Amino acid sequence: MVAMETEGKVIKCKAAVAWEPGKPLSIEKVEVAPPKAHEVRIKIAASGVCHSDWAYLYDIAKMKPRPFPLVLGHEGAGVVESVGPGVTKVSIGDKVIPLFLPQCGQCERCQSPKTNLCTKNWEKTQQGVLADGTSRITCKNQQVHQFIGISTFSEYTVVPEDNVTKIHPDAPLDRVCLLGCGVSTGYGAAVNTGKVESGSTCAVFGLGAVGLAAVMGCKAAGASRIIAVDINSDKFEIGKTFGATEFVNPKDHSKSIQEVLRELTNGGVDYALECVGDVAVMRAAVEACSPAGGVCVIVGWIEVEELSLAPLDILLGRTLKGTYFGGWKSVEAVPRLVQDYLSRKILLDEFVTHRLALDQINQAFDLIMSGKSIRTVIEM
C-alpha cells in the first residue's frame, strides 16, 4: 500500500457550495475530514451535472427539501485517496465510482433479486450526512451537507464503503462518471425495469441524458421501433445516434401526444419510458401504451407532485412501474457497465456535449436550462 501524504489528515480543497436554495453555487475552499470506520475518501476526477442537481437548488417546489448548505453532485468518478478502518473492498489508488444508491449485500433488499433499493444508511444519506449523522465537509467552520451522501462537486469527498465501487483501471474517468447516475438510470430503465423485449415498439419521452440512455437500452434489448419524443427537435439527431428510429415533436401536432402515438403504432406502444419528470408527461406516457399488456416506466425524478390517472387505463391491462438507478444493484453492476463501455457495448462519449472546470459550474446549470447540453462534465 502506498501512503498518500494526505492520509489521515484534513484536506483543504475547492468545492461548489450551495449556501441556500435559489442561489448560484459558490466556489469555496472547504475542509474534508479523513474517513471514519467503513468510509472511503475519494479524489474526484470528473463529475457529470444532472438535472436533479439543478432541481434541488432551483426547483425545490417539486422536491423534498434537503438541508443547506449543501455540496451537490452525484455523478462522479475518481481515485481512492484513503480508507477508514474496516474498509476491505477498495484500496488507495483504486479507480472508483461513488454511488448514491448503496449495495451492502446483507439487507433484505440486497438479498432480494426483485429490487436494488439497499436500505443501508438510507435515511442518513437522504439528509446529507453519513452513518454517524454528520458530514465530512465543512466550510467557514460550518458543516456542509453531502448531497445523497456523495457530493461530487468537490475535489475530495468521503462516502460510506457500500456507496463506492471499484472499476477497471483503464476506465476513462471523465466519461465513466456518467454511470454514476444518468446513463445507468435510463439504460437500466429499459433493460431491467421495463424488460423491453426483442421486436417490440417503444416510446421514450424526453431526450436528455436519461432519455437517450433509455433509447440506447431499448436498442440493446432489440426493440424494432423506438420513437423518440421531445419538444426540442434539435435533439432528434442525437436520438438517432443512440438508436431511435422515429421522432415526434408534440408541438407539431394538434392532437395529444398519446393520441398521435396510438395512431402511429395502431393502438399504442409496448413500452413507454417517461424521462422528463413531469406528471402530465407521465400520464401521456401511460395512455400511449397499448392496453394489451403495455408497460410504462416512470424514470424522471419527481418527489412531491401527484400523478393522476383514469382507472380504465390501468384496468384494461397496462402496467405502471418506476425505476431507481435503472434497477441496477449498484456495486456489482456499475463495474460491468464500465466493462460494457470499454468493449463498446454501450456509448458514453456521445453524451458529453460540454466540458467545464469546477469554477464554471454555474454555466453547466445554464446549459441545462437552455436545453443546449446533454451532459456537461466538470473536470476537477
Partner 1 sequence: MATAGKVIKCRAAVAWEPKAPLVMEEIEVAPPQEGEVRIKILYTSLCHTDLFHLLESTDNKGFPTILGHEAAGVVESVGPGVTEFKPGDKVIPNSGCQCRECKFCKSPRTNLCERSWVNDHIEYMSYPKTSFTCRGKPILQFTNTGTLAEYIVIRQIYVVKIDDDAPLDRVCLLGCGVTTGYGAAVNSAGVTPGSVCAVFGLGAVGLAAVMGCKNAGASRIFAVDINEKKFEKAKVFGATDFLNPKAYNKPISEVLIEMTNGGVDFSLECVGNTEVSRLALESCAKGWGLSVLVGYTNTDFSSKPIQLIYGKTWKGTLLGGFKIKDGVPKLVLDYMSGKIMLDEFITQRMKLEQVNDVVKLMKNGECIRCILDMSK
Residues near partner 1 (CB under 8 A) are 108-109, 112, 114-117, 279, 282, 291-293, 298, 300-324
Distance CA 322, CA 298 (A): 4
Beta-bridge partner residues of 165: 97
Instruction: Give min distance, CB of 296 to partner 1, in A.
Output: 9
Instruction: Give min distance, CB of 319 to partner 1, in A.
Output: 4
Instruction: Give min distance, CB of 73 to partner 1, in A.
Output: 20
User: Measured between alpha carbons, how far is residue 236 from residues 206, 224, 229 in Å?
Assistant: 10, 18, 9
Which residue, 43 or 318, is less far from partner 1 as judged by CB?
Answer: 318
Q: Which residues contact 380 (CB under 8 A, 6 or more apart)?
A: 43, 44, 45, 46, 47, 78, 155, 358
Residue 318: phi, psi to the nearest 5?
-80, 155
Which residue, 279 or 348, is less far from partner 1 as judged by CB?
Answer: 279
Which residue, 68 or 324, is less far from partner 1 as judged by CB?
Answer: 324
Task: Kindly report the three-state secondary structure assignment for every residue of 126-140.
Answer: HCCCCCCCCCCEEEC
Q: Which of 258, 322, 321 is nearest to 290 (CA)?
A: 258
Look up residue 276 and give its DSSP letter.
S
Instruction: Give min distance, CB of 102 to partner 1, in A.
Output: 14
Instruction: Give min distance, CB of 297 to partner 1, in A.
Output: 8
Which residue, 144 or 320, is less far from partner 1 as judged by CB?
Answer: 320
Instruction: Give min distance, CB of 243 to partner 1, in A.
Output: 24
Look up residue 169 and give its DSSP letter.
T
Q: Which of 90, 50, 76 is nearest to 173 (CA)?
A: 76
Instruction: Give min distance, CB of 161 to partner 1, in A.
Output: 22
Q: In terms of DSSP bridges, do strands 225-229 and 246-248 run parallel, antiparallel, or are they unpaired?
A: parallel
Q: Is 106 helix (H, G, I), strand (E, B) or coil?
A: coil
Which residue, 190 or 347, is less far from partner 1 as judged by CB?
Answer: 190
Residue 151: phi, psi to the nearest 5?
65, 70
Q: Which residues contact 63 (CB under 8 A, 6 or more apart)?
A: 55, 56, 302, 303, 304
What amino acid occupies position 50?
C
Residue with cell 424521462: 275
Instruction: Give min distance, CB of 248 to partner 1, in A.
Output: 22
Which residue, 41 or 318, is less far from partner 1 as judged by CB?
Answer: 318
Q: In terms of DSSP bridges, do strands 95-98 and 225-229 run parallel, antiparallel, or are they unpaired?
A: unpaired
Which residue, 83 or 298, is less far from partner 1 as judged by CB?
Answer: 298
Residue 61 backbone zone (phi > 0: left; psi -120 to 50: alpha; other: beta): alpha
Instruction: Give min distance, CB of 88 to partner 1, in A.
Output: 27
Which residue, 259 or 379, is less far from partner 1 as judged by CB?
Answer: 259
Which residue, 3 or 312, is less far from partner 1 as judged by CB?
Answer: 312
Residue 37: other Cβ atoms inside 10 A: 13
Which residue, 189 or 347, is less far from partner 1 as judged by CB?
Answer: 189
Asked if residues 160 and 130 have their Cβ atoms less than 8 Å apart, the reply is yes
Asked if residues 77 and 94 have their Cβ atoms less than 8 Å apart, the reply is no
Instruction: Give min distance, CB of 132 to partner 1, in A.
Output: 25
Distance CA 130, CA 148 (A): 9
